[in-house]
Structure 1
Amino acid sequence: MTVNRRPSGTHHGDLRNALEGAALALVAERGPHGFTLAEACRRAGVSVSAPYKHFADREALLVSLALKGYQEQRRRYAAALTSSTDPAQQLAAFAAAYVRFAAEERALFDITFLAGLDKGRHPELAQAGGALHDDLMPVTRRLTGDPEAAFDLLVRVSAAAHGLALFLQQDMLPGPWNTLATVEAQAALTAHALIDHLAHATSSEGHHVHHGR
């Protein structure tokens, strides 16, 4: 997903989009904490008073972009879930899609997860994150049959994918392994390993209960 970037110096029938595009470019260069609202205005070619028609402050601009980040994730994860009817394969495809989103939309990823936005002040962010949870829980529920175990599995798979995405971003893996394709595959394999561990633990628990009777 890309927010359209308008050339500077033009009149803005789409001022909001111009400011978002400028902010995304600045985040790509400096990270989510490395720019001011005034710099975004200069990059967009508008006066420093212009953004207040749409954004109360820099945080409001970042919140708008974070919502776009959640929307793009939801689109990508929904596409990943259509890749199979098998819940294990679906969860593995989600993990790989998570890594690819972080790599292909790094600015949106950084804003969504690393900008320190307060979900208490911006409940719309919590709602957007909750929508992702609601989309994915039916998949893990099919694997566990229990809502608490389903949530636990989703957290573990998501955390592994998130960590691998950061490893890739920060070049923390040895050369041959530090490629998008390799890390996507690792995320999928980790999801399968977590599912297999769950199945083994459940089977062992049932075995102990059986022999305890």
Structure 2
Amino acid sequence: MAVKRRPTGTHHGDLRNALEEAALALVGERGPHGFTLAEACRRAGVSVSAPYKHFSDREALLASLALKGYEEQRRRYRSALAAHSDPVEQLAAFATAYVRFAAEERALFDITFLAGLDKSRHPELATAGSALHDDLMPVTSRLAPDPDEAFELLVQVAAAAHGLALFQQQEMLPGRWNTRASVEEQAARTARALAGGNTH
């Protein structure tokens, strides 16, 4: 997680980081739609006019955090892929890492995927999302040489992991199946099943 942790309300020179940290804490408490820029300022211990040096509005602040979310995902997914040489196991490791990111960095996950940010206004987010695609396509291309089939496999694995992550967050899985460990295992098994169906 790239946002530094600082005591709330203390004087420091890193206004941008202080506002990002405050917004991240508020998202953790209320979700990505549940706070105002003024509240983030109060949480950071700065005046309501302070953020405009760095962020034009609340969405710009959330977009900055979403970019950090994509960067953290890419770091985790690259590490997961590097731990294996077999493409099926690489996709299983990616799916596991996806669920783990959603659980360990809930606020970043919610900002990245649930804040409804306008990517035409923040093209850096589209670029960051494309970077994740570019890391994973070579893996799925080893299982499905046709580019359309490789992309479809990537979408299937990512969609399954995303859905399972949301199921766990919303406690939609019964009892013992709703633990993080169980959901990670389910994501890996689903990825293996999807990838195994595409082996040539």
**TM-score, shorter chain, exceeding 0.5:** yes
Which letter maps to 2:83?
S
What amino acid is aligned across from residue 136 of structure 1 in structure 2? L
Matched residue, 1:69: 69
Deviation at 1:195, TM superposition (A): 1.5
Cα contact 1:6–1:44 (8 A) shared by 2: no
Measure the CA separation in 1 of the matches of 2:106 and 2:45. Answer: 24
Counterpart of 2:168 in structure 1 is 168
Partners in 2 of 1:5 and 1:80 — Cα distance? 26
> Secondary structure, in 3 states, of the residue corresponding to 1:56?
coil
Paired residues, what number? 200
Q: Aligned partners of 1:84, 1:4: CA distance in 2, in Å?
A: 31
Residue matched to 2:192: 192
Bigger shift: residues 71-80 or 10-19: 10-19
The residue aligned with 1:209 is none
CA contact (8 A) 1:8 1:46 kept: no
- In structure 2, what residue type is equivalent to 1:191? A
> What does residue 54 of structure 2 align with?
54
- C-alpha separation between the residues in 2 aligned to 1:181 and 1:9? 36
Pairwise CA RMSD of aligned residues? 1.0
- How many Å apart are 1:69 and its aligned residue? 0.1
Identity %: 79
Q: Show the counterpart of 1:144.
A: 144
Deviations 1:146-201 (A, max 9, x none): 111100000000000000000000011011101111100100100111122234xx
For 1:107, the equivalent position in structure 2 comes to 107
1:1-213 mapped onto 2 (5 Å cutoff): 1=1, 3-199=3-199
For the pair shown, the structure with the greater C-alpha radius of gyration is: 1
Deviation of residue 2 (structure 1)? 5.2
Q: Distance in 1 between matches of 2:176 and 2:130?
A: 36
Give the residue type in structure 1 aligned to 2:72.
Answer: E
Runs of 5+ consecutive residues of structure 2 not aligned to the other structure: none
CA distance in 2, matches of 1:183, 1:8: 34
SS of 1:198's equivalent in the other structure is: coil
Q: Cα distance, 1:121 vs. partner?
A: 1.3
List runs of 5+ in structure 1 lacking aligned partners. 203-213
The one-character-per-residue Cα deviations of 1:21-75 (angstroms, maximum 9, x if unpaired) are 0000000000000000000000000000100010000000000000000000000
- The AA in structure 1 aligned to 2:148 is E
Q: What SS does structure 1 have at the residue aligned with 2:198?
A: helix
